Amino acid sequence: MVPRYTRPVMAAIWSPENRYRIWFEIEALACEAMAEYGAIPKDAVKVIREKGDKALAAFSAADLARIDEIEAETRHDVIAFLTWLAEKVGPESRFVHLGMTSSDILDTCLSVQLVQATDLLLKDLDEVLSALRVRAFEHKHTLTIGRSHGIHAEPTSFGLKLAGHYVEFERNKARLLAARAEIATCAISGAVGTYAHLDPRVEHYVAERLGLQAEPVSTQVIPRDRHAAYFCTLGVIASGIERIATEIRHLQRSEVREAEEFFHPGQKGSSAMPHKRNPVLTENLTGLARLVRSAVVPALENVALWHERDISHSSVERNICPDATIGLDFALARLSGLIGKLLVYPERMAANIESLGGVVHSGEVLLALARAGLSREDAYRIVQRNAMETWTKLGTPEGKSFRENLDADPEIAGRISADLLDSAMDSRQHLKAIDAIYEKVFGEAGPAA
Amino acid sequence: MVPRYTRPVMAAIWSPENRYRIWFEIEALACEAMAEYGAIPKDAVKVIREKGDKALAAFSAADLARIDEIEAETRHDVIAFLTWLAEKVGPESRFVHLGMTSSDILDTCLSVQLVQATDLLLKDLDEVLSALRVRAFEHKHTLTIGRSHGIHAEPTSFGLKLAGHYVEFERNKARLLAARAEIATCAISGAVGTYAHLDPRVEHYVAERLGLQAEPVSTQVIPRDRHAAYFCTLGVIASGIERIATEIRHLQRSEVREAEEFFHPGQKGSSAMPHKRNPVLTENLTGLARLVRSAVVPALENVALWHERDISHSSVERNICPDATIGLDFALARLSGLIGKLLVYPERMAANIESLGGVVHSGEVLLALARAGLSREDAYRIVQRNAMETWTKLGTPEGKSFRENLDADPEIAGRISADLLDSAMDSRQHLKAIDAIYEKVFGEAGPAA
Amino acid sequence: MVPRYTRPVMAAIWSPENRYRIWFEIEALACEAMAEYGAIPKDAVKVIREKGDKALAAFSAADLARIDEIEAETRHDVIAFLTWLAEKVGPESRFVHLGMTSSDILDTCLSVQLVQATDLLLKDLDEVLSALRVRAFEHKHTLTIGRSHGIHAEPTSFGLKLAGHYVEFERNKARLLAARAEIATCAISGAVGTYAHLDPRVEHYVAERLGLQAEPVSTQVIPRDRHAAYFCTLGVIASGIERIATEIRHLQRSEVREAEEFFHPGQKGSSAMPHKRNPVLTENLTGLARLVRSAVVPALENVALWHERDISHSSVERNICPDATIGLDFALARLSGLIGKLLVYPERMAANIESLGGVVHSGEVLLALARAGLSREDAYRIVQRNAMETWTKLGTPEGKSFRENLDADPEIAGRISADLLDSAMDSRQHLKAIDAIYEKVFGEAGPAA
Amino acid sequence: MVPRYTRPVMAAIWSPENRYRIWFEIEALACEAMAEYGAIPKDAVKVIREKGDKALAAFSAADLARIDEIEAETRHDVIAFLTWLAEKVGPESRFVHLGMTSSDILDTCLSVQLVQATDLLLKDLDEVLSALRVRAFEHKHTLTIGRSHGIHAEPTSFGLKLAGHYVEFERNKARLLAARAEIATCAISGAVGTYAHLDPRVEHYVAERLGLQAEPVSTQVIPRDRHAAYFCTLGVIASGIERIATEIRHLQRSEVREAEEFFHPGQKGSSAMPHKRNPVLTENLTGLARLVRSAVVPALENVALWHERDISHSSVERNICPDATIGLDFALARLSGLIGKLLVYPERMAANIESLGGVVHSGEVLLALARAGLSREDAYRIVQRNAMETWTKLGTPEGKSFRENLDADPEIAGRISADLLDSAMDSRQHLKAIDAIYEKVFGEAGPAA
């Protein structure tokens, strides 16, 4: 992920320093476990732990360079690290990595990094939820038009729109917690997963201390269906970001102008057109959603490794693990910020509701006529005729409002009272269930209108 | 593809009848070639051709059932067909398929079907191009606002919008012609492509008569990079359909109302809201674009077959070949129809241009001030200030038009004449290059405004 | 999905008959609820239920044609159905669908169909699990070589391979249960989800009787993040199928020949090469996996609908819902069958283990030397030298086995006893943890070897 | 793309320095054109060109930091650059960018970068082609078994395998040249592509000097169908890399051992198993192919921008443009190297051909029996019976070769001479058309065997 869309806190998780720190921790814990179960001397482990902790605490660019140098010769990253570690630890290093295979370190480390990344994403999600909740209550009674197919349908509230995104992000949080469990596993099972040179208790010891589960069957590698499920979840969350970004982009359109991204003082929307205030943040989120989703297909293609493992997944994961988590972290952080600062224009929302001459109340009028005894088919025909008459002449000299047209329709005359029509055309009736919905979503209805 | 989105003319290409017809044609042509080069008796080929042609001409449901019955036993589709053919042709059938392998028939047949499908798609593209051209000339001078980021930018013409889609579809046609060449190849090269039991001239003979090229190196199968390139092309075209569909969906939005899909008499937009006129056709095209594109990834995954071939691509192609071509054919046919009948509202377009109080002319005013000697930075600052003043008070009692604000700005006073401002705020100047663009796109500028 | 890969039991779920049956059930239940809460007369509901049940029970091709005919005019599928229903039910039909919108029916019906499909898939998964379990216990002690990178690594057991797939399919079952919960929701909330013309209790009533949850916030439609998560899950399962299919394809390779798909009497592997026995079923599963996965991207693209809903997702779902569930059902059914009948060749497995001259025991020898006091680096160097000597001369006149080379190496001489080397080269030691693993996976170790 | 898979030569194309150099070149050329057509003073342009060239030649980290600083305030990258340029150029800078919009610079620059990247990729492809050609001629007569479904089919030559990849890469080169033409366009057409404030000749002037075509209709942006087609092409090429990588991975399998990646002295294949020599380069190419392909879907999703443009494509392209071109460049460079150094084992190939007891000649025996007058059905039955007898008893005490079984079959006795059988079982006959194929592929047959 390019630096432009990278937050340091997530990038740090994917740094070589963090990786080597985790590698050492896994090796050290495995040594402790082996000592515990009698395979290696406890004294040696003490030395490994002390000198190793010290070397990692003091880890510098020179150490990075040294490891790279060894890898250039051995062409094997774990061997390079172990050789460097041996230089730091001394003769006791011969007890490190005994009976283990590189993937025991690599895959368990990836699990730890993905868990760290996920915990950050969960925090991001909480901030999105918090921002949505605040604004949903703020605009619980802010009437706005609901739109299907981009066409005015019936009134709703702006808060209810946000509540819908809120529950979607609650689902996303639940999915991410499930995905975290998918990838929070540990494998220390040797060359093909038989524990041939290892006590299975080592794996349990390490797993427990790292907050992971022991993998039931690993085959040198942790099976990649777990990672596929994980990246699919990131893709679903990214799509949820795209949905709310698309909503805001629509609301900010020049013809709609019901909401607007905060525009910074000094900001220039266009080098050529000084009047521009563009929804660039939500457009950016739309693009980031595509990027995060682009990890889904390669992650699925990574599942069918050959036999006990091949290494085709590795180059994929070296990229998609940082890219997708960094991209999603950036997008979620941007999203919570923009929701919090979103400019909302209730007057414009109110004006837009009425901008089609009142035809948005056609559904309620239809029901009123049906209740008054007309067949559904007749009622539909009459209401559609008046709505179309209103719609097609909107803004022309001969244009009349929906109500005017209804009042003048002989098929309606006498069937339905003016009071009933008034009530059918009152947008506020559409909020009658809002308390019930908020109770369902937030566990509380909040203050009355 | 579900019948709802299937046109019979494309479905027929993928019918078993058409497939068996092509299979026989390939076998018969191969027999002719073998007779030509002395491998089998010409008299036998005459019998094969005559009885085979007759059997295929009379092909009925009973024949289909008979082939299915044989396949149920042999579990091999080509052997089932050849057995059925032998029943029809008699003893001469022993010269059919000599030295050939099933894929010689299957892959060459697929090429023929894809060519047939492509020719239909090319015809569809011509109709889209024709509809776009007609409407582009009709609306060459119809002023409308150009929008970047969904925000009003500067005026353009509705015809120019369509001209942009026209050139995109011309590119799509060129791409489809290239894709047609990709898959128009013939392989009759035997079990692993060595022509071990076949004269290479047989392949050339058959290829020429079927309008195909002989494949340079086939390995039992025609290499699948060709099909991957083909489906990628369908995906690009589908995305072009989505682009124009998205444009129309935007233009039909209740707040924009600049264009509208034709609404059939008797059509009901919604069971609950009689006033609705929804852009359902373009929404449908948006979905169909997703479907056609969904063939791209599996087609790419089909390339890396094992060794000389495996058969994993087969189940994929049995689905995506008909689905993607049928879906694209339906979408293109729908698109040309809806462009031809699209309702366009020039008055509404004109009104929308001015709906932001004239700030859409900020770029031209900026240039006028720069020409009048202000630094770019100062000019930008002044114009932005007035545009924002106009924009943020739009529709409020204290709101003034952009022109009124400019006129009242002391930093502008005296720097620029009223005439220059008038001219800077005249939308028609944005069409000054329209003839040049139309010449580039259509080879002619068309009648003057 | 083409008929070739379609099982009738899954296809029936997606038939028009089943859809109309569910539509009626939703309408009838909604009527019951409305009557319960006083909105419509109970007598009328009794008529609707009785006449409706009867009409659906007698549903015939003529009914289908009648609905299609009405839809051709109204261009609205739900209105077409309701009109047909009105013809069957009579005047009481005016109480049907009151205050509801089409999507209340369509989306809730889709949930019911997806639940039905999922329940079938869960049954399929159980059969795959059952077949894997049986074969895993059968081959718990069948030694075979484990391979990383396609290269012999260390011995494992064929049962353990299957146990790994077993736990993966247990994860897939858990994921599918979670996905089932995702899409098992009901929305009867009206035009934009405000319950403006509906009592929210109607939704709860219908949901409960259909075994669904009421959707917290629907916006005419059930939010599509649910369906995206669902199809992602199908994609992960498909990839798990591809993994085991790839394993079997590898094992059946001519050079490996450790396992083989059952070959039917009368089956012909190739029209040109009578000797062929190809792993066509697992190749087919590989292709089907690509097809099922092709639903993932469009399902993710369906999430960001415009505002309260657009209908772009509809054409996508009309295809991917049947295609992906039918394809996955067929693949799972095929998979459980082929695992059950898989031909396994333990002698060949045993022979392959030794085919590299014993170098597959290099890891254990390395450890033995390390335990004998050599540094890891020296031990690695010595063992690698002898392994490479063995490997590169394999099958040549001067070739010696790994053991012979070790015995002749002066750097090893005296460091390690012949008994220790014997033990290091005994494949059976790799199964020492097999009971522990089986306990973890199956909850029981099964009978001893 | 992580540094591990990045070559500096491709990374440099995507560096900020290169981008700013191109930006300046476009601005400077546009100034020259404007001066040419009288819009701005030639003297000023001379100053802009001289001072600008000097500033770019001396471009340093301090300049980068300064531009970043300005962008942090203006939140607009092009304005930031222009402001920095003005600091370097002085008052004449007011003539820079006159009437242009940021995208004129951004999109034209992207075209230049993509062309630069493509030219490097074309060079990479030439090296792959060259390596394939050399090895194809080297192994033109090296007999090896052809495999369909992973099962031995009939003999072919290893050179012919490579020739097949050679023609595929020739197609890939042709596709990449076509893709280069797709994205080699220039747009300098202003805010919505009307040339409202610009002379269209400026665009032609700049395009010509940059080696680009003028875009027929741009709408602030160059239409993204071009980029979609470009990334699809990269995806097809990546899949071709995967195909040859998969072939080599198969050939290196322990049971096959017909070819092997070069193994560096000092290289360690596994930290736990000193005997390992793994095909890690081709596995890596397999993963890189997945990564490059992952750009295809987001590139397709970028096509349908809103109206004249939105900016959702930007974050996508900031990542996929460098990632996909860097990844593909690295993969192609790795591929040509590994083909050149690939270890090939002809003796092992010869041994594998015969390892199934001669059944790979079943097709030729079938034809010989058919030529001898047996019906196809009878011949097939007889040959299949003997092949299965051979196959199933392979390696057992009672096992006989295919030839021995045929000789003992009473249904064959007397029908076909020993000489004919000898000839049918001679692998060399499968190369009889090899000269003809090489002529087609390489334009020359090369030296005789």
- Which is it for the CA torsion A71, A74, A77, A79, positive or negative? negative
- Domain count for chain C, please give it: 3
Cα–Cα distance measured from residue C310 to residue C103, given in angstroms and rounded to the nearest whole number:
11
- Which is it for the CA torsion B27, B32, B34, B35, positive or negative? positive
Closest Cβ–Cβ partner in B154, B274, B390 for A384: B274
* pLDDT band of C449, cuts 50, 70, 90: low
Within a domain: residue D394? Answer: yes
From the list C60, B2, C181, A319, the residue with the least C-alpha distance to D322 is A319
Cα–Cα distance measured from residue B337 to residue B438, given in angstroms and rounded to the nearest whole number:
23
> At B20, is the secondary structure helix, strand, or coil?
helix
Q: Contacts of residue B293 in chain C, CB cutoff 8 Å?
A: 297-298
- Which is it for the CA torsion D222, D226, D232, D234, positive or negative? negative
From the list B79, B12, B89, B14, the residue with the least C-alpha distance to B45 is B89
Please indicate whether, in this complex, the C-beta atoms of B102 and C312 are within 8 angstroms of each other.
no
* pLDDT band of B372, cuts 50, 70, 90: confident
**A107, A248: one domain:** yes
Interface test with C, best of A106, A169, A308 (most C CBs within 10 A): A308
Closest Cβ–Cβ partner in C153, C253, C297 for D150: C253
Region of residue C95 (phi > 0: left; psi between -120 and 50: alpha; otherwise: beta)? alpha
**B231, B105: one domain:** yes
Q: Contact A191/A220 with Cβ under 8 angstroms?
A: yes
CA–CA min distance A21, chain C (Å): 22
| Average confidence score pLDDT of chain C | 95
pLDDT of residue C271: 72
C276 touches chain D (CB under 8 A): yes
Q: Contacts of residue D277 in chain C, CB cutoff 8 Å?
A: 151, 388, 391
Active site residue B270: yes
Q: For residue C389, what is the nearest residue in chain D, using CA coordinates?
A: D275
Low-confidence ranges of chain A (pLDDT < 50): none
Q: Which amino acid is at C248?
A: I
**C9, C60: one domain:** yes
**ipTM metric:** 0.96
- Other CB atoms closer than 10 Å to residue A2's CB: what's the count? 14
Residue range B309-354, pLDDT digits in tens: 999 999 999 999 999 999 999 999 999 999 999 999 999 999 999 9
pLDDT surpasses 70 at D121: yes
Within a domain: residue D270? Answer: no
Task: Determine which helix (DSSP H) or strand (DSSP E) holds B147, and give its type and residue range.
Answer: strand B143-148
Rounded to 5 degrees, φ, ψ at B421 are -65, -40
Closest Cβ–Cβ partner in A98, A200, A220 for C436: A200
Q: What is the dihedral of CA C310, C314, C317, C319, to 10 degrees?
A: -150
Using a 10 angstrom Cβ sphere, with 0-12 exposed, 13-18 middle and 19 or more buried, the burial of residue B43 is exposed
Q: What is the domain-level CATH number for residue A120? A: 1.20.200.10
A442 touches chain C (CB under 8 A): no
Within a domain: residue A16? Answer: yes
A323 touches chain D (CB under 8 A): yes
CA–CA min distance C90, chain B (Å): 19
**A117, A31: one domain:** no
Within a domain: residue A431? Answer: no
Closest Cβ–Cβ partner in B293, B370, B432 for D300: B293
pLDDT surpasses 70 at D143: yes
pLDDT of residue B449: 67
Q: For residue C309, what is the nearest residue in chain A, using CA coordinates?
A: A148
pLDDT of residue A74: 81
Interface test with A, best of B254, B277, B302, B356 (most A CBs within 10 A): B254
**B394, B319: one domain:** no
Q: What is the domain-level CATH number for residue D363? A: 1.10.40.30
> At C334, is the secondary structure helix, strand, or coil?
helix
* pLDDT band of B249, cuts 50, 70, 90: very high
**D184, D302: one domain:** yes
| Helix segments in D265-361, DSSP class H | 280-293, 296-301, 312-341, 346-354
Within a domain: residue D269? Answer: no
Which residue do the tokens 């990449």 mark? Answer: D176
Distances (CA, A) of C222 to A448, C104, C110, C181, C216: 27, 9, 10, 13, 9
Within a domain: residue A434? Answer: no
pLDDT surpasses 70 at B383: yes
C264 touches chain D (CB under 8 A): no
B353 touches chain C (CB under 8 A): no
The average pLDDT across B185-196 equals 96
Poorest-confidence range of A212-226, C246-260, D381-395? D381-395
Cα–Cα distance measured from residue D66 to residue C377, given in angstroms and rounded to the nearest whole number:
51
DSSP structure class, residue C309: B
Cα–Cα distance measured from residue D202 to residue D108, given in angstroms and rounded to the nearest whole number:
13
* pLDDT band of C45, cuts 50, 70, 90: very high
Please indicate whether, in this complex, the C-beta atoms of D278 and C151 are within 8 angstroms of each other.
yes
Residues of A forming the active site? 149, 270
From the list B311, B425, B445, B407, the residue with the least C-alpha distance to B363 is B425
Q: Which amino acid is at D241?
A: I
**B198, B86: one domain:** no
**Tokens representing residue C241 in the block:** 């199928």
Q: Contacts of residue C272 in chain B, CB cutoff 8 Å?
A: 99-102, 190-191, 197
Dmax over Cα atoms in chain C, in whole Å? 102
Strands C343-344 and D143-148: unpaired
From the list C394, C322, C397, C338, the residue with the least C-alpha distance to C10 is C322
Q: Which candidate in C60, C270, C375, C417 is catalytic?
A: C270
Residue range B48-107, pLDDT digits in tens: 999 999 999 999 999 999 999 999 888 889 989 999 999 999 999 989 998 899 999 999
**D85, D228: one domain:** no
CA–CA min distance A307, chain D (Å): 11
> At B286, is the secondary structure helix, strand, or coil?
helix
Residue ending a domain, choose from C68, C98, C128: C98
Give C139-208 as a DSSP string: TTT-EEEEEETTEEEEEEEHHHHHHHHHHHHHHHHHHHHHHHHHH-EE----TTSS-TTS-HHHHHHHHH
Residues contacting D215, CB < 8 A, separation 6+:
D185, D186, D187, D189, D203, D222, D223
Q: Which domain holds residue D140?
A: 100-264+275-353+436-449
**Tokens representing residue A414 in the block:** 């006498």
Give C37-69 as a DSSP string: TTSS-HHHHHHHHHHHHHHHHT--HHHHHHHHH
Q: Contact C106/C130 with Cβ under 8 angstroms?
A: no
Residue range D322-344, pLDDT digits in tens: 999 999 999 999 999 999 999 99
Please indicate whether, in this complex, the C-beta atoms of B196 and D429 are within 8 angstroms of each other.
yes
Which residue do the tokens 């994980």 mark? Answer: A230
Please indicate whether, in this complex, the C-beta atoms of B295 and C294 are within 8 angstroms of each other.
yes
Q: Which amino acid is at B268?
A: K
**B109, B32: one domain:** no
Q: Contact B173/B159 with Cβ under 8 angstroms?
A: no
Residue ending a domain, choose from A98, A131, A162: A98
D191 touches chain B (CB under 8 A): yes
Residue range C212-234, pLDDT digits in tens: 999 999 999 999 999 999 999 99
pLDDT of residue C396: 87
**Tokens representing residue B402 in the block:** 């952009």
Residue ending a domain, choose from B63, B81, B98: B98
**D249, D200: one domain:** yes
Residues of D forming the active site? 149, 270
**B217, B330: one domain:** yes
Interface test with C, best of A85, A192, A198, A364 (most C CBs within 10 A): A192
Using a 10 angstrom Cβ sphere, with 0-12 exposed, 13-18 middle and 19 or more buried, the burial of residue A444 is exposed
Within a domain: residue A270? Answer: no
Closest Cβ–Cβ partner in C79, C294, C312 for B294: C294
A362 touches chain B (CB under 8 A): yes
DSSP structure class, residue D93: G
Closest Cβ–Cβ partner in D161, D225, D247 for B168: D225
Please indicate whether, in this complex, the C-beta atoms of B310 and C283 are within 8 angstroms of each other.
yes
The pTM of the whole model exceeds 0.90 = yes
Residue range B114-168, pLDDT digits in tens: 999 999 999 999 999 999 999 999 999 999 999 999 999 999 999 999 999 999 9
DSSP structure class, residue D20: H
Within a domain: residue A435? Answer: no
C384 touches chain D (CB under 8 A): yes
pLDDT surpasses 80 at C270: no
Q: What is the domain-level CATH number for residue D24? A: 1.10.275.10
Q: Contacts of residue B81 in chain D, CB cutoff 8 Å?
A: none
Q: Which amino acid is at C343?
A: L
**B54, B34: one domain:** yes
* pLDDT band of C76, cuts 50, 70, 90: confident
Interface test with C, best of A84, A225, A423 (most C CBs within 10 A): A225
Q: Contact C158/C134 with Cβ under 8 angstroms?
A: no
D256 touches chain B (CB under 8 A): no
Q: Contact B352/B258 with Cβ under 8 angstroms?
A: yes
